[in-house]
Amino acid sequence: MTSERQSLILQQRVVKRADAGLHCREVSLRLSSDQREVILTRYTEHYSPDGLQWVERSHRVPVSDMLRWVIENGEAQTLVQGGDASDILPIDRSHAERGNDQDGILSSH
């Protein structure tokens, strides 16, 4: 199966088939080395009396695009809410002014 460092294993499954075959599947998620992209990797192996076959497919998406999608499509939940404006800490939006898209993603909506 995949040997990517620091991957989050989302699914790992082994199924024995009636034809004496063995099917292994792993789905993992990790950040690219520059931490700008999320990489979803799907790896499958099929063992049979005829031999081994395997396939690995990776799908990449910029972290900023994924965060935008989650904000736009996810179910918003308020975990903590206060009534006194003096208790609210000021939000530092200087990173958005610098044009750093990955850091400024939350301030763009």
Separation of CA 104 from chain center: 19
Whether 42 maps to a domain, the answer reads yes
> Is the pLDDT reported for residue 14 higher than 80?
yes
Whether 97 maps to a domain, the answer reads no
Q: How far apart are the first and last CA of the chain?
A: 39
| Residues spanned by the domain of 62 | 1-74
In angstroms, the CA 12 to CA 106 distance is: 33
Q: What is the pLDDT of residues 61-107, one digit of tens each?
A: 999 999 999 999 998 887 777 776 555 555 555 555 545 444 444 54
Q: What is the CATH number of the domain that holds 3?
A: 2.20.130
What confidence score (pLDDT) does residue 109 get?
43
Whether 93 maps to a domain, the answer reads no
